[in-house]
């Protein structure tokens, strides 16, 4: 119970990696605000957490909308009193080769992955500076280094890394840590959409020989969210089974 009495927000927690994170933080004793654009999925995660004896609420929110994020933080502070941990996990992909990528595909991905993360980091920074404590963990991606067919997604995730490192430097003296996590290839709805051929190629590039599980990412996040990780900040940490060098 490393996170007993801590209050956590996890965005995109309705399924996939975010759900794994929310469940893990709750198991470690945190009270979790499960945030998602999909009410059905979000409520499902809250049900899972409560089934395991944990504490959670669902807060509907589109992180791309600043007013939604303000309402989210107000709701969590009203309900639980504060925010100790923020995990920015919500993200989307709209893949396409650069020469065919539409402006809409570009805008959508930047709006959610980068601007949405900024909205949440800013709201958390205002609150955590005041209380002189906080843990912010942003989910970037191995693709931030560049990936064919993902110009929009890679740019958004590289932006998340830059945002994380800047926030880490600004907030260090307030006892707030900020780190970015880069999952490699994790088995979720996002990756299950790829053709079997692409799936097999991806697995062949992973020295561990398997796709990652949401729990593989969640275990690292539980540590970074804990008091034990108080001197680790401005880092970019890979969870890729050896895939990312």
Give the interface with ligand NAI as residue ranges (CB under 6 A): 11-12, 14-18, 36-38, 41, 61-64, 89-92, 112, 116, 139, 141, 183, 185-186, 188-191
Beta carbon of residue 236, minimum distance to ligand NAI (angstroms, whole number): 13
Beta carbon of residue 5, minimum distance to ligand NAI (angstroms, whole number): 26
Tell me whether residue 13 or residue 128 sits nearer to ligand NAI (CB atom).
Answer: 13
Tell me whether residue 29 or residue 96 sits nearer to ligand NAI (CB atom).
Answer: 96
Distance CA 183, CA 233 (A): 18
Beta carbon of residue 85, minimum distance to ligand NAI (angstroms, whole number): 17
Tell me whether residue 133 or residue 155 sits nearer to ligand NAI (CB atom).
Answer: 155
Beta carbon of residue 67, minimum distance to ligand NAI (angstroms, whole number): 13
Task: Tell me the catalytic residues.
Answer: 153
Tell me whether residue 117 or residue 133 sits nearer to ligand NAI (CB atom).
Answer: 117
């Amino acid at each position: 119970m490393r996170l007993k009495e801590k209050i956590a927000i996890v965005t995109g927690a309705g399924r996939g990696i975010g759900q794994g994170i929310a469940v893990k933080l709750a198991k470690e004793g945190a009270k979790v605000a499960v945030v998602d654009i999909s009410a059905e999925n979000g409520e499902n995660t809250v049900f899972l957490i409560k089934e395991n004896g944990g504490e959670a609420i669902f807060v509907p929110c589109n992180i791309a909308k600043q007013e939604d994020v303000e309402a989210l933080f107000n709701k969590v502070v009203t309900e639980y009193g504060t925010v100790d941990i923020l995990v920015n996990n919500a993200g989307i992909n709209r893949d396409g080769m650069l020469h065919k990528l539409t402006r809409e595909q570009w805008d959508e991905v930047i709006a959610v992955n980068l601007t949405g993360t900024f909205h949440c980091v800013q709201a958390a920074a205002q609150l955590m500076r005041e209380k002189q404590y906080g843990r912010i963990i942003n989910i970037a991606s191995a693709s931030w280094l560049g990936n064919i067919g993902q110009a929009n997604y890679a740019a958004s995730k590289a932006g998340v890394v830059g945002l994380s490192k800047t926030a880490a430097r600004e907030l260090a003296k307030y006892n707030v840590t900020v780190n970015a996590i880069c999952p490699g290839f994790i088995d979720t709805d996002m990756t299950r959409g790829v053709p079997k051929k692409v799936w097999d190629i991806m697995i062949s590039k992973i020295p561990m020989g398997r796709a990652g599980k949401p729990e593989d990412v969640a275990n690292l996040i539980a540590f970074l969210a804990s008091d034990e990780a108080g001197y680790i900040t401005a880092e970019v940490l890979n969870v890729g089974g050896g895939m990312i060098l």
